[in-house]
Amino acid sequence: MTVRDVLEAMLRRWYVVVAVVLAVAALGLFFARDDGLYFTRTVVTFSTPGEDSPFEEGGSSEAGIIAFAASIATELNDGVEPLRYASADAPFYGAGIRQGVIVGIPSTGGQWAVDYRRAAIELQIVSPDREWVAERQAALLAQVQAITETQQDAVGTGDGFVTTAIDPLALRIDHITPTRTTRMLAWGALAVVAVLVSGWAALRGDAAAAKRRRHAVARRPDAVSPGRNVVVHGPDVIVQGKGQR
């Protein structure tokens, strides 16, 4: 089968092509109306008395305090270890998540090995609804503080031994929208899909029509004399036999 065969089938089944193009266009318009996502990456650091460092390097480097932060992250995550990515800076929505929360601790390792250097918890929240993100952020921060105090009381250290801090800039909620280049690439991809699907559908339509014609001729005993063959070529039915001129 050649490209010409496909194009001829698409011309014969033009109504199939139009239907596919309209369906793909409707899908594209549906996604084009998307206002984007709201995202926040909030970091809570844990430190002991006497430790003081910038927020980007914040959090105690003591193994015990790092383990303390990890236990809080696990509890917030319902006992499940959070997913890790090859890059620690990979945003949650980059995995295709449109609404959800992920709790973890910053790691300088890669996808296959972790390397926790500081006691901190990272909260990534994403949703099309800004209010939902803000509510989840406030609830999780309150939960972090409550668990921190409860665990310290449980071991008898008092709720002031390990203190928490939040970078005010990390509280911001960003609005993520696709760029113009991304939109153009998306429309280009949809156009390719429309051509491929419409070509396939046109060929399938031709094949189905040819099959129906063969069956129709086969059911008419007077239409074909003995010794003749029915040959279907494209949209046409040709009767062949020995001695024909």
85-127 tens-digit pLDDT:
555 566 666 666 788 888 887 766 555 655 667 788 888 899 9
For the chain, how big is the Rg over CA atoms in Å? 32
Answer yes or no: is pLDDT of 141 > 90. yes
Range(s) of the domain holding residue 204: 3-33+181-241
Identify whether residues 111 and 53 lie together within a single domain.
yes
Q: For the chain, what is the mean pLDDT?
A: 75
Identify whether residues 110 and 228 lie together within a single domain.
no
Q: Which residue has the higher pLDDT, 211 or 83?
A: 211
Cα distance between residue 76 and residue 149, in whole Å: 14
Answer yes or no: is pLDDT of 129 > 70. yes
Name beta bridge partners: 236. Answer: 233
Average pLDDT over every residue of 53-62: 59
Cα distance between residue 205 and residue 22, in whole Å: 18
Domain end, chosen from 152, 177, 202, is at: 177
Q: Kindly indicate the confidence band of residue 142, based on its pLDDT and cuts at 50, 70 and 90.
A: very high
Read off the CATH number of the domain in which 63 is found. Answer: 3.30.70
Q: Kindly indicate the confidence band of residue 229, based on its pLDDT and cuts at 50, 70 and 90.
A: low
Name beta bridge partners: 113. Answer: none
Q: Which residue has the higher pLDDT, 10 or 82?
A: 10
User: 107 near 84, Cβ under 8 Å?
Assistant: yes
Q: Beta strand pairing status for 228-233 and 163-166?
A: unpaired
Identify whether residues 22 and 69 lie together within a single domain.
no
First-to-final CA distance of the chain: 29
Structure confidence by residue, pLDDT tens digits, 143-172: 998 888 888 877 666 656 788 888 777 789
Query: Look-up: residue for tokens 């500081």?
Result: 118
Helix axis angle, 180-218 to 3-12, nearest 10°: 80
Identify whether residues 222 and 128 lie together within a single domain.
no
Identify whether residues 199 and 142 lie together within a single domain.
no
Domain end, chosen from 121, 148, 177, is at: 177
**Cβ within 8 Å of residue 187, ≥6 positions away:** 28
- Whole-number pLDDT of residue 69: 83
Which among 79-93, 106-120, 134-148, 225-239 has the top mean pLDDT? 134-148
Percent of the chain with pLDDT over 70: 69
Residue type, 77: N
Identify whether residues 167 and 119 lie together within a single domain.
yes
Average pLDDT over every residue of 54-80: 74
Identify whether residues 163 and 49 lie together within a single domain.
yes
Q: Kindly indicate the confidence band of residue 83, based on its pLDDT and cuts at 50, 70 and 90.
A: low
Q: Phi and psi (nearest 5°) for 120?
A: -155, 155
Answer yes or no: is pLDDT of 243 > 50. no
- Whole-number pLDDT of residue 110: 56
Query: Look-up: residue for tokens 């009381």?
Result: 153
This prediction has a pTM of 0.59
Identify whether residues 113 and 132 lie together within a single domain.
yes
Identify whether residues 67 and 156 lie together within a single domain.
yes
Identify whether residues 209 and 225 lie together within a single domain.
yes
Average pLDDT over every residue of 118-137: 90
Domain end, chosen from 157, 177, 197, is at: 177
- Whole-number pLDDT of residue 239: 47
Residue type, 228: R
Q: Kindly indicate the confidence band of residue 244, based on its pLDDT and cuts at 50, 70 and 90.
A: very low
Identify whether residues 169 and 186 lie together within a single domain.
no
The domain total for the chain is 2
Identify whether residues 73 and 172 lie together within a single domain.
yes
Dihedral Cα 123, 127, 129, 135, nearest 10 deg: -20
Cα distance between residue 217 and residue 237, in whole Å: 9
Q: Kindly indicate the confidence band of residue 55, based on its pLDDT and cuts at 50, 70 and 90.
A: very low
Helix boundaries (H) for 77-179: 130-155
Answer yes or no: is pLDDT of 242 > 60. no
